[in-house]
Structure 1
Amino acid sequence: MTDVVLKRDKEKAVFQRHPWVFSGAIERVKGKPTNGDIVRLLNHKGEFMAYGFYNDQSRVALRLLEWNEETEVNEAWFRAKVATAVNARADILNEQTNTCRLIFSEADYLPGLIVDKYADHLAVQILTSGIEKMMPVIMDELRQLLNPLSIFDKSDASSRQHEGLETDNTVLWGDEPPSSVEVKENGIIYSINIAEGQKSGFYCDQRDNRRILAAHTKGKKVLDCFSYTGGFTLNALHNGAASVTSVDSSALAIETLKQNISLNKFDAEKHTAIQSDVNKQLRAFKEAGDKFDVIVLDPPKYAPSRSALDRAARAYKDLNRIGMSLLNSGGLLATFSCSGAMDMEQFKQVLAWAALDAGKQVQFIYQFCQPECHPVRASFPEGEYLKGLLCRVW
């Protein structure tokens, strides 16, 4: 096994079991490992520190797997990690919910592997060269544990390019998943298009937040922005909202949302779907004098890295400022950020600036977070990416 040697004074994060070693922390590589190989990491004295995946094309040159030198990182090791992650989600899945995230990358000690369950189908994202090499073993273990009808590769994330990998979108096992896979989440039915949908097909990281917000929507006029296929919309209708307006720029998302309303036999007359750029539509609502009791703002990632934080903060502030201006006095704003680079305190500050610009008073009455199928590993706080606030606005 190839040895990779750390520079002096670069051991602290490794000792604390953070799974990333950046290329700048490496003193030398003894040999010529290929990308995705498992290597031994040594400190500058030559003492063992960890085993990890190596990739010289990535800024994260090592993704650490195991800190016990006596533990062999082999096929059995990967099978055990997959089984542990899947079994840990057993309490989530029941008659009311048959979709969730089964494996969440570094949080489950499998860096670069995402596995989502959609009823009897699995969608995977393979984001590191090391995981790509181990996929035959991982797929076999998933098949033994779950016996899925299909395993579909949704590895079209831009992060694959940083690992020197091509994007992919193909069947790994079984038949091509149908264009409509019906799943249940909190008793609500969703039609999922695994092959063509965003990310892995659905955003199961908002499962708990959709349910929590729905409790505040009975009899209310609701606006769901960046609605995608209707997670917050459907929960609001299920809980007796007076009306829900959904806005998303994707024609496919809007069409699927309408199908989901029909699947659940909700009153279509209480729902309005608008295919439009959200920021443009919010300004149109303001010009028309429209007001709402509850507004959901769940935008895409504005800050993919820390270098983008300033620009992202301005975008979040502008979005929330307009949202606040569209609320009736005392109304509720459920606003989210999925940018891992922005922490909760920064997000609160952005909302404080937005309130000041909008001339509004704001109370933070609840903090949203990602659900238990998206755990945050103690030694990897970067895994905590989803954050949100329920705000009362006057």
Structure 2
Amino acid sequence: MIDVVLKKGKEKAVLQKHPWVFSGAIEHVKGKPANGDIIRLLDGKKQFLGYGFYNDQSRVAVRLLEWNEDTAVNEDWFRQKVRTAVAGRAHILEDGSTDTCRLIFSEADYLPGLIVDKYADHLSVQVLTSGMQNAMPVIIDELNALLKPTSIFDKSDATSRSHEGLETSNVLLAGTHPPELVMVKENGITYGINIAEGQKSGFYCDQRDNRRLLAAYAKGKTMLDCFSYTGGFTLNALKNGAALVTSVDSSALAIETLQENIRLNSLDSAKHTAIKSDVNAQLRKFKESGDKFDIIVLDPPKYAPSRSALDRASRAYKDLNRIGMQLLNSGGLLATFSCSGAMDMETFKQVLAWAALDAGKQVQFINQFNQPEDHPVRSSFPEGEYLKGLLCRVW
């Protein structure tokens, strides 16, 4: 096994069990590991620190897996991590009202770069690191043995793969190809999920708890669901008696799937309007026409992929929320989210305070939204906490 030696004084984060080692912290590498190889990490005094994946093309040159020198990172190690992750989610699926969740969440489950989502009897995986790419034959074999899925489909089309020297992938890994729409249940609502062509891994199961929480406010209310995708917030609100829901998304496929989901659940389509449009442009149209809503959901894509983009992202979040606040009836509710890991909750609150000033509104934060338990956050890896949201009452 090749040794990677840290510069003097760069071992603090590793000793605190943080799994990332940046290239600038490395003093030298003894040998020539291939990208994705497992290496031994040493401090400046040549003392053992951990085992991890190595990649000299990535800013994160080492992704640590194991801190115990006596524990071999081998096939059995990977199988055990998969079994532990899957077992920890089993109770989410027990009552039958939900059959979709995240089974493996990358660093949170000690498998950096691996995401596995369960959609009924199909699995969708994203492989984002070269080391995990090397481990996939074992991972696939273990997932097949544990769950016997109808298919395992590779949705590794994230641009972050290029940072690891990997090409994108969108192929069947095991089983039979998933149908155009895989039927899943979440909170007792049925969704048609397009695994092969849908965004990310096919569905955003990280909003499961938040959809249910917000739906409790929807009875008899008018709601605007922005960046609605296939209708998670829309369907929960309609099921809970919303008077009228307007959904806006720029994707024709998402809108088409959303409308099919309304039919699947026998919801009243007369209480729903779908608009294919850029959200920011549509919000300006609503403002010009004087439209108002009781509840507005703002769930945009990631505006800040890194800390360097945070200032620009903060301005984008502020402008989006400013116009959202102006479209609410007095005392209305704004459910607003950020999935940018670089933006913490306190910064997000400050951005909303600026938006309120610009909009001439008074705002109360009455609840907080978080990612659900199948998206856990390791205490030593706070970067895993990416989804945050606020429920605001606006006057």
Mapped to 1, the partners of 2:46 and 2:321 lie a distance apart of 52
1:13 counterpart letter in structure 2: A
User: How far does residue 215 in structure 1 lie from its aligned partner after superposition?
Assistant: 0.1
Deviations 1:128-187, CA, capped at 9 Å, x for gaps: 000000000000000000000000000000010000001000000011110000000000
- Map 1:212-361 to 2 at 5 A: 212-361=213-362
Per the alignment, residue 27 of structure 2 pairs with 27
- Map 1:362-381 to 2 at 5 A: 362-381=363-382
Q: How many residues align?
A: 394
Per the alignment, residue 140 of structure 1 pairs with 141
Mapped to 2, the partners of 1:335 and 1:85 lie a distance apart of 30
Deviations 1:233-265, CA, capped at 9 Å, x for gaps: 000001000000000000000000000000000
User: How far does residue 352 in structure 1 lie from its aligned partner after superposition?
Assistant: 0.2
Partner SS, residue 300 of structure 1 = coil
TM-score (norm 2): 1.00
2:105 counterpart letter in structure 1: F
Deviations 1:12-47, CA, capped at 9 Å, x for gaps: 000000000000000000011100000000011111
Mapped to 2, the partners of 1:92 and 1:391 lie a distance apart of 28
Deviations 1:168-210, CA, capped at 9 Å, x for gaps: 0000001111000000000000000000000000000000000
Per the alignment, residue 45 of structure 1 pairs with 45
Mapped to 2, the partners of 1:54 and 1:314 lie a distance apart of 36
Mapped to 1, the partners of 2:66 and 2:207 lie a distance apart of 31
Per the alignment, residue 202 of structure 2 pairs with 201
Per the alignment, residue 85 of structure 1 pairs with 85
Per the alignment, residue 76 of structure 1 pairs with 76
- Map 1:87-236 to 2 at 5 A: 87-94=87-94, 95-236=96-237
Mapped to 2, the partners of 1:334 and 1:116 lie a distance apart of 25
Mapped to 2, the partners of 1:304 and 1:49 lie a distance apart of 29
Deviations 1:99-136, CA, capped at 9 Å, x for gaps: 00000000000000000000000000000000000000
1:79 counterpart letter in structure 2: R
Mapped to 2, the partners of 1:146 and 1:238 lie a distance apart of 31
1:217 counterpart letter in structure 2: A
Mapped to 2, the partners of 1:6 and 1:370 lie a distance apart of 34
User: How far does residue 52 in structure 1 lie from its aligned partner after superposition?
Assistant: 0.2
1:120 counterpart letter in structure 2: D
Per the alignment, residue 15 of structure 1 pairs with 15
Partner SS, residue 167 of structure 1 = coil
Mapped to 2, the partners of 1:134 and 1:217 lie a distance apart of 45
Partner SS, residue 123 of structure 1 = strand
Percent identity between the aligned chains? 80
Partner SS, residue 9 of structure 2 = coil
Deviations 1:256-293, CA, capped at 9 Å, x for gaps: 00000000000000000000000000000000000000
Partner SS, residue 91 of structure 1 = helix
Deviations 1:291-336, CA, capped at 9 Å, x for gaps: 0000000000000000101110000000000000000000000000
Mapped to 2, the partners of 1:36 and 1:214 lie a distance apart of 44
Where does structure 2 lack aligned partners over 5 or more consecutive residues? none
Partner SS, residue 29 of structure 1 = strand
Where does structure 1 lack aligned partners over 5 or more consecutive residues? none
Mapped to 2, the partners of 1:313 and 1:26 lie a distance apart of 33
